[in-house]
Structure 1
Amino acid sequence: MLCLALAGGCGTRQSGGPQVNTPALIVSGDDASPLTRTEMAALKSTGQIDRNLPAEAMPDVARQYKYFLRKGRNTMSVFSKRAELYLAYSRKVFRSRGMPEELAYLAIVESGYKPDAKSPAGAAGAWQFMPYTGMKYGLNQDWWMDERLDPYKATEAAADYLQKLYGDFRDWPTAIAAYNAGEGKMSRAKEGTGGRNFFEVKARNHVLDSKAQLREETKQYVPRFLAVTKIMRNLPQLGFEPIHPDKAPGVLRFTVRPGTDLLAFSRACGLSWEEFSAYNQHHKRPVSSTERSCFVYVPARYERQATAFLRSPQANAYANWRPARVTTSADSWEKISRRCNVPVAQLQAANPGKHKLVAGATVLVPRAANMSATAVAALDAHNAGRGQSHEPRKARLKPGNARTAPLHGIAVAASRSHKLQPDETLYAVARKYKVSLRELQECNQIDNPDKVRAGCLLRIPGRAVASGEPAAGSSGGRVGKAGAARQTTYTVQHKDSLWNIARKHNVSVDDLKRWNKVDEKSLRAGTTLVVNLD
């Protein structure tokens, strides 16, 4: 567990075109009101990036500047106040790399520092990374999370990207324009116009064909950034509410192990799930990725509670779980509970909002859970053979106690046959002859019941062998005296795991461990395992 204190891509038009999910900021007309002396002084203020701007750049900068002072004043107020939470850390990131600190204001232009901002084109986060560029700069996007929505990690990725662009163009305004338009587009525009920097390319943009030209969005992007930078340097003088990034509430970054129970984490810190999620919008699930360690953020005042929880055994309650696809709508949480011996309540807590399972959905389940349609059908057939309903009554199924015993082997005496009729199902045939669906499938070597067609001649098996009861006409095989468990052996192959061995034999991982005194670390190819089939 690593804890890092944090002070409290761009709309990334990497593929070109507008993508910011914020008010349109391109100024279409000049405000007739003149700038005051104070406003003019702020406009003339300079930093590392807006020093020595060419004279031809200033009209567009002034127009954007006046927009945010007049018509867009409320927008500027909201954006600057939201930025207060992140600016100290963003400035620190850029400063530590020898880059201009005012680059931290670029996220204001991108999203107004909104961590969960999303654009119609697919850009996301405060720094508006597109999916490919985000992945390229270390922002994971998968079933578990979208790290573009992590404002701190995304800032680090943006610094990496901007540093790369500066290395390509050797000029900050040009690098910033490339952050918006895409490095390829900017390079081609520079080559096609012969311009040495963004401002020269912009002045000669008309010589390019329509496809190669910089969009109006990009042409105004750099002036907009420069205008926002000048305002952010002079907020109180310009009548805006001052911000104090260095005094913003502290946030702690924890590196948590795979499968951390985030819902329990929030409770341990005394936070509601909504409050916790506001700091961790990059997490899509109430459980952290079971595939890798990741970042989680909590207010600094909860450091003691957070540290104590992450050191406790309950922190990693889901370490051995995995995302799996529901293969049939006949499945349910009750059936999964019976197959993996995990309470229904715990399964549903890990999958909020998914009360009824549908085929094709992805859910979080223990690694030992067999999610195949065959496993579901076998459980249904087993229940039907015992006179149970497909959905056990709640009085019969208590979370934590329900467990499905592995189904027994089948002894077949195929003295009968049945021709499948139109609209007749295998399940109906199984019920007619009082055998289980699994018995019928195994007798006829049917892997997929849905592919059996009318007219098929089915062999009807003899009665199933109960535990310890030999089949009629058999010598007993591996079954000995009454009540004796049937066993088989399995030789471990290269790349085998306890989970896939258990799945092959329809037993649990815990049983395999208990029967053989083995775990994943001690499992070796060539080892012979005992498997109890009853």
Structure 2
Amino acid sequence: MIKKLLLIFICISTTCCFPSFAQQNKKIDSLINNLNNVFINKDTVTVPALVENPLMLSQNYLYKLRLDSISKTIPLPYNEYVQHYIDIYAKRKDMIGQMLGLSNYYFPIFEKALKEYNIPQEIKYLPIIESSMNPHAVSRVGATGLWQFMFGTGKAYGLQMDNFVDERKDPIQASYAAAAYFRDAYAKLGDWLLAIAAYNCGMGNVTRAVDKAGSRDFWVVRQYLPLETRNYVPALIAAIYIMNYSGKHQISAQACNLYLKTDTVQVNRFVSLPLLAKALNIDEVSLCALNPSYKKKIVNGSADLPKRIVMPKLKNMDFASIYEVLNHTDLDVDMQIVAAGTDDVRDLRKKKGLVAAASNKTLYHKVKAGQNLTQVANLYHVEVQDLKVWNNLKNFNIVPGQKLKVYIKTKMASKPSADYLTYLVKAGDTISNIADKFEGVTVQTIKRDNNLENSNLQPGMVLKISKG
């Protein structure tokens, strides 16, 4: 009897399980159609089940399956951080539509460079979150181009920057430089997600974070990385997802405004892009868009260093006119090549700080309870950022008792005009008692003559005192 009951139970279980097994053969995206079957509560108990929104549960699982289906060399895990950026990108339909259109031109360039350095093709999506695939993009700290190279990093990876060209804006040159960077980053860090993080904040920051975490798992290391970098990797994974599954979010590719079929020529002389556009019978803007790295719309080729020009493939081209522009047209332009200086805002601030240290009077401010960096800066009429540079501060936090170096401009201590006297502020001085020392001088005139916003003084300050 027991054997018969057991046999009946097995048969019923097998029959119930079969539909579930059959559903596995359906396409991933058909899972959403089976929501009602999966999440129906068949229990007769009236107490509602404490489950999340069924639609959300299925969507999350669907996103994971989709990411798994496109993951190749680089792992593309699904989690709440990735979901957050998927939600953001799914709402930016116009922006993603533009990226889909531009990808038709730029992705073949990226793919070729990445393949040459044996870098995973998933990296080609990085310029979407770096620059929105805009070769003229410049960040607040000076990172430039599709791949957002800083001046020093670009130079280290062979990109040329002078008064005629900035190769950080060259889609081809910058792509090879980026591929070389990833080769080095992966060789040092041994993990692709960490290498991607290093592209955002530098290998040094990632190495220190790895040491603190005691792990090479990005999701473990993440908490020790700068805030921007913590979100950088999830944003990339979300961008990869949305570019591959844009249709599932009702996002359509927009027309690309770049010529998709092009030829390249190498020139060993200076060539005007506007004149070449005229010979090609195309809009000047369209030709410059294919050659975004040339600052003056002049290609500065030479025998020692030929330069590339990207031109559209066109029917019925006037080859004689094009040949004339490329080979026989002389330009009235100063051809001296001058290497560009850094445009890294951080380096420029450091230089500014060094100049200040060399030419200005040095004071030391002892931080009082309740003071913040902005209050100290206002006290001496300097910039908060300068205080950070002068004192090697990594953030805006200061503590009572901390000594801050402050550079006062030497012009404040320079010899004043014949209409003024100078007074060196001593400990305990106030504007009121200083005014009492001089005939016809008031608190208001001292504040006016010294551009003081308040009555706070610091020992060592030099005040101009009107002779009346």
**TM tier, smaller:** 0.5 to 0.7
Aligned to 2:281: 270
Q: Is the 8 A contact 1:82 1:114 kept in 2?
A: no
Q: CA RMSD in A?
A: 3.2
Residue 195 (structure 1) aligned with residue 215 (structure 2): yes
Equivalent residue letter for 2:310: Y
Equivalent residue letter for 1:293: P
Aligned to 1:295: 308
Residue 59 (structure 1) aligned with residue 80 (structure 2): yes
DSSP 3-state at the match of 2:98: helix
Q: Is the 8 A contact 1:137 1:161 kept in 2?
A: yes
Equivalent residue letter for 1:261: S
Distance 1:295 1:280 in 2: 9
Q: Is the 8 A contact 1:126 1:151 kept in 2?
A: yes
1:265-414 mapped onto 2 (5 Å cutoff): 265-289=276-300, 291=302, 292-301=305-314, 305=318, 309-310=322-323, 314-315=327-328, 317-318=330-331, 322-323=335-336
Equivalent residue letter for 1:127: W
1:274 CA drift (Å): 2.4
DSSP 3-state at the match of 2:300: coil
1:127 CA drift (Å): 0.8
Q: Is the 8 A contact 2:276 2:325 kept in 1?
A: no
Q: Structure 1 65/264 Cα, relative in aligned 2: closer, same or farther at 3 Å?
A: same
Q: Structure 1 73/264 Cα, relative in aligned 2: closer, same or farther at 3 Å?
A: closer
Residue 127 (structure 1) aligned with residue 138 (structure 2): no
Distance 1:215 1:139 in 2: 27
Q: Deviations over 1:484-515 (max 9, x none)?
A: xxxxxxxxxxxxxxxxxxxxxxxxxxxxxxxx
- Which of the two has greater helix per residue? 2
Distance 1:225 1:151 in 2: 19
* Runs of 5+ unmatched residues, structure 2: 1-52, 339-468
**1:140 aligned to which of 160, 166, 171:** 160
Aligned to 1:74: 94
1:321 CA drift (Å): 5.0
Residue 258 (structure 1) aligned with residue 269 (structure 2): yes
Aligned to 2:130: 110
Equivalent residue letter for 1:269: L
Q: Is the 8 A contact 1:50 1:226 kept in 2?
A: no
DSSP 3-state at the match of 1:201: helix
1:219 CA drift (Å): 0.1
Q: Is the 8 A contact 1:256 1:310 kept in 2?
A: no
Distance 2:337 2:125 in 1: 42
Distance 1:133 1:118 in 2: 15
Q: Percent same amino acid among aligned pairs? A: 25
Q: Is the 8 A contact 2:134 2:146 kept in 1?
A: yes
DSSP 3-state at the match of 2:311: strand
The number of residues matched between the two structures is 280
Distance 1:310 1:197 in 2: 56
Q: Is the 8 A contact 1:93 1:156 kept in 2?
A: yes
DSSP 3-state at the match of 2:266: strand
Aligned to 2:398: none
1:165 CA drift (Å): 0.9
1:265 CA drift (Å): 1.7
Aligned to 1:48: 72
Q: Structure 1 241/82 Cα, relative in aligned 2: closer, same or farther at 3 Å?
A: same
**2:191 aligned to which of 155, 171, 193:** 171
Distance 1:278 1:79 in 2: 16
Structure 2 length-normalised TM: 0.54
Distance 1:233 1:120 in 2: 30
Distance 1:33 1:76 in 2: 28
DSSP 3-state at the match of 1:288: strand
Aligned to 2:181: 161
Aligned to 1:435: none
Distance 1:50 1:162 in 2: 13
Distance 1:296 1:254 in 2: 5
Aligned to 1:240: 251
DSSP 3-state at the match of 1:254: strand
